[in-house]
Structure 1
Amino acid sequence: MNIIKDKDWDTLRRQYSWVADMDGVPQSPVHHAEGDVATHTQMVLAALRSLPAYQALPAEAQEILWTAALLHDVEKRSTTFTEPDGSIVSPGHARKGALTARYLLYAQFGTGFTMREQIVNLVRYHGLPLWVMHKPDPQKALLEASLHVNTELLYLLAQADVLGRICADQSEMLERIEFFKAYCIEQDCWAKAYSFSSGLARFRYFRQQNSASPQYQPYDDTTCTVIVLCGLPGMGKDNYIQKTCKDWPQVCPDAIRRQHRLKPEDRSANGWVAQQAKEQARVNLRAGRDFVWNATNITRQMRNQLVDLFVSYGARVELVYIERPRASWEQQNAARTAAVPAAVLEKMLRKLEVPQLSEAHGVTYLCG
C-alpha cells in the first residue's frame, strides 16, 4: 500500500502544507550543518533509499519507513527556538510529531491502524537509538519501545537520520546506533516486541520505579477487573458494552452529566462530575466487583489517573481502544442523540494518544 504515491519533493511541497512548513525551519549548525529541516528531511529520505537493508525490505515495510522518515521532524516547525546562548533547539518535537503523524495518517490518508501506529511510533522514538543509554533506566526504555515499534525499522530510520546530515560527530553517532542494535539483540527485542510472561508481569515491570527483572512473574493478587473504554465520541463504546458486558455495572461521567442536567460545555462542573464518577467506582472497587468505566480517555494522562486509582484497590485494568474509519465514525457520531460538534471532534482527534501495552494489565484494540 502506498500512503503517498507521488514522492517527488516539489510535488509534496505543493500538495501538503506540513511539508512546505519545513522550509526555513533552522537547525543547530553543530548537529545539522546541512541547513534547514527541509534540506535535512530530503537528505534523510535519500540516505534511507540507499541503504541495502531498506532495499531488501518488503514493500509495506519500505512504505512505513519512508513515511516515518518524511514525518520524523514534522513538528520542528512548532517547537524550534533559539536559546539565550544562541543554541537552536527543538524540545519535544518527536512527541508532538507523533500526534501530528497520527492525525494526518488517520484524517488525511486513511491509513490502517496497524500500519499507522508503526509510523507514529517510529516518529515518536526516532531519537532513541542515539540516546537509549542516557535514559534513567535504559533497559526499561528499550523494552517499552519494543512493544510499540519494530526495533529493526527504528535502527534503519536512525541510520538514515544520521547519514542525512552534515556534522563532525557522524561516525560516533553511527557507532551508537550499532550499539543500539547489539543491545536489542542482547535484550531479545530485535525486530520484535519483548515477550513478557504475562500481562501482569509486563504491567508491574513498567509501573514500578525500581523494577525487578522483566522475567519476574509476580503473584496475581488482583481482586476484580475494570474495563476502561478508550476512544473518541461516536466510535462505538456503548455498542461494545451492549455486546460484551451489558450486565456489568457501568460508571459513565457523561451519564452523570445527563442525570444532573449539566451541559457538556459547562467546564466548571468537570471536577464535580469526575469526583462523583470516582466515588461510584470506589463503591465497586471496595466490593471487589467488576465494572466498566465508560469515557473517552484519549490521553495517557487521563488513563494514568484512573489506572492509579483502580490499582490502589487491587483491580486488574483492561484498556479497550475502539476506532472506526473516519467516514463511518462521522456517520455514527451524527446518528447519536447528542452528536458532538465537528470542531470539537477535530480538536480531540489532534490530541489522541492511543493506549500502549505498558499502561495496563491488558490492552485490546478494536479497529476497523
Structure 2
Amino acid sequence: MIRMPSDQVTFEALEQLVPVAPDWRVAWDRIWPLWPELSLLDNCQQDPVHHAEGDVGRHTRMVVDALVSLPDWRQLDPGNRSCLFWAAVLHDVGKPATTRAEDDGRITSRGHSRVGASIARRLLWHAGAPFVWREQLCGLIVTHQLPFWLIERGNPERLAIETSWKCRPDLLCLHAEADAMGRICADQDGILVNVGLARQVFEDAGCGTEPFAFANDESRVAFFERPDRDPRYVAFEDFRCRVTVMSGLPGAGKDTWIARNRPELPVVSLDAVREELGEPATGNQGRVIQAAYEAARQHLRKGQDFVWNATNISAQLRGRPLRLLRDYGARVEIVYLEPSQAALHAQNRSRDAVVPEAVIDDLVRKLEPPGRWEAHKVTHVVEGCTL
C-alpha cells in the first residue's frame, strides 16, 4: 500500500474521493492510505457483543458503505454529502488511543468520540479543509453515539437541544443509522429503532435540522450553564459591562485584531502579565494567572468594558475566565482567529517571542474552537473573513 504523507493530503483531494452517481463507488484503495491513523483501525479490536464484525477498520468500512447506500445521503447537497462521508470515515479514529480491556474481558473505548474529533480536526486542519465544513464534521464525531441512547435518558429534549447547537441533528441521525447498519450485533434492530425515536425527539423539540431557537442570547447561555433552566424561558438581559475574550493559536493575530477593533479598551493579556512578572512561558503559570484574574476583577467591579487576551484554544481553558465574567454579570463575546497555516507561521516568526513550531503543532492537537453556545456572541475570523 502506497501511503501519502499526511501533510500532502489536501481538501481538494478529499472532495474528489467522495462517491458520486451513477455507481457511488467508495475508493477504499485510495482512501485508506491517506493517513496512518486509518491503518491503525485494522488492528484495533472491539467488544464482540456490540461489534461481532471484528476490528474497527472493518466496522468503519461497513459504516461508510452503508451510508453511501442510503437514499437520504445521496440526496444531500454536495457539501453536506462530503462532510457526512468523511465523518463516517473518521468517526472511530479515536478508538486506538482509548480502547482498553476490562477485568471481565470486555473491551471498551470510553472517550473515543472526543479524542476522535480532536484527531480529525488536526488531520483536516493540515489538509486545509474549510472551517465551517471541518467543525461540522468534528461536531458529528463528538456526538455520533448520542442517537443510540438519547431516548433512554432522563431528559431527552434537553440533550437534543444542546446537541442541536453542536451539530446538525438530521445529519447526526443519518450517520447513526449507517453506524448501526455497519455492525453485527444482536440488538441492531433495537438500535435502529432508537435512532428513529431520536429523530422524533429532535423534531418535536423544534431542532430537527438546525439549532434550537432561544428567546435571546442570555437565555441560551444560561441554558447551557444551568441544568434546570427551561429552554423557553425569556431571560432578562441587563449587563454590567461587555468583555471580549480572544481565542487563537500563537501567531493568529490576536494583538493586531485588538488594535484594529478594540483600540479604546484596556487589555488584560497573559503574555503582558507574564512579561511584567518576569515569568517564563514554560513552567508553573499560577502566579501569572492569579495576577491576570485580579486585573480582570478590577475592571469588572467598576463595570468597565475590557479585553481578555490569551490563547484560550480549548473549552477547558476558556471555562474559568468565562465563569468569572458571568459571575460579575458581563456580556461576553468570544473572538476566535484562525489565519491560513502559511500566515500563522509567518506571523509567529515575526513575534518578539517566537513560539517553536513543535509547540504550535502540539497546540493544534489540543485545538477546540469556541462553539456558538459558549458566550452571548461568538465571532470566528477565518483567513481574514468574519463568519
TM-score computed with the length of structure 2 as normaliser: 0.91
Match of residue 145 from structure 1:
163
**Matching residue of 1:20:** 39
Query: Contact 2:279/2:288 (CA < 8 Å) preserved in 1?
Result: no
Cα distance in 2 for partners of 1:154, 1:52 equals: 15
Is 1:106 matched with 2:125?
yes
Superposed, 1:170-249 pairs within 5 Å as 170-212=188-230, 214-249=231-266
CA contact (8 A) 2:90 2:116 kept: yes
**What is the SS of the residue equivalent to 2:103?**
coil
TM-superposed CA distance for 1:312, in Å, is 1.1
How far has the Cα of 1:309 moved from its partner? 0.9
Query: How far did 1:156 drift?
Result: 0.8
Q: Secondary structure at the match of 2:42?
A: coil
**Cα offsets for 1:14-67 (capped at 9, x unmatched):** 332011111121111111111100000000111001001011111111110110
- CA contact 1:2–1:63 (8 Å) conserved in 2: no
**Contact 1:122-1:149 within 8 A present in 2 as well:** yes
1:232-275 superposed Cα distances (whole Å, 9 cap, x missing partner)? 1111111110111111010001101112322212x13x000000
* 2:151–2:194 CA contact under 8 A, matched in 1: no
Structure 2 unmatched runs, 5+: 1-11, 18-25
Give the aligned residue type for 1:152.
D
Deviation of 1:135 after TM superposition, in Å, equals 4.1
Secondary structure of 1:365 counterpart: strand
Aligned length: 364
Distance 1:194 1:365 in 2: 20
Map of 1:251 onto structure 2: 268
Match of 2:137 among 96, 116, 119: 119
Please tell me whether the aligned partners of residues 101 and 120 of structure 1 are also in contact (alpha carbons under 8 angstroms).
yes
Residues 1:302 and 2:317 aligned together: yes
User: Secondary structure at 1:282's aligned position in 2?
Assistant: helix
CA–CA distance in structure 2, aligned partners of residues 139 and 4 of structure 1 = 35
**1:58 paired to 2:69:** no
Aligned equivalents of 1:247, 1:136: Cα separation in 2: 48
Shift of 1:2: 5.6
Q: CA deviation at 1:210?
A: 1.1
Q: Give the match for residue 325 of structure 1.
A: 340
Counterpart Cα distance in 1 of 2:377 and 2:151: 28
Residues 360/345 of structure 1: CA separation in 2 closer, same or farther (3 Å cut):
same
> How far 1:336 moved relative to its partner?
1.4
**Kept after mapping to 2: 8 A contact 1:21/1:77:** yes
Contact 2:157–2:202 (8 Å) recurs in 1: no
**What CA distance in whole angstroms lies between the structure 1 residues aligned with 2:67 and 2:217?**
36
Q: Does residue 107 of structure 2 align to residue 88 of structure 1?
A: yes
1:5 is matched with 16
User: 5+ unaligned residues in a row in structure 1: which ranges?
Assistant: none
Bigger Cα displacement from structure 2, 282-291 vs 322-331: 322-331
Q: Is the 8 A contact 1:253 1:274 kept in 2?
A: yes
TM-score (normalised: structure 1): 0.96
The alignment's C-alpha RMSD in Å is: 1.3
Letter in 2 for 1:183: V
Superposed displacement of residue 4, structure 1? 5.0
Partner of 2:299: 284
* Aligned partner of residue 166 in structure 1, secondary structure: coil
Any idea what SS the aligned residue of 1:259 has?
helix
Q: Shift in Å at residue 10 of structure 1?
A: 3.0
- Indicate whether 1:38 and 2:38 are aligned: no
Q: CA deviation at 1:143?
A: 1.1
Distance 2:226 2:280 in 1: 39
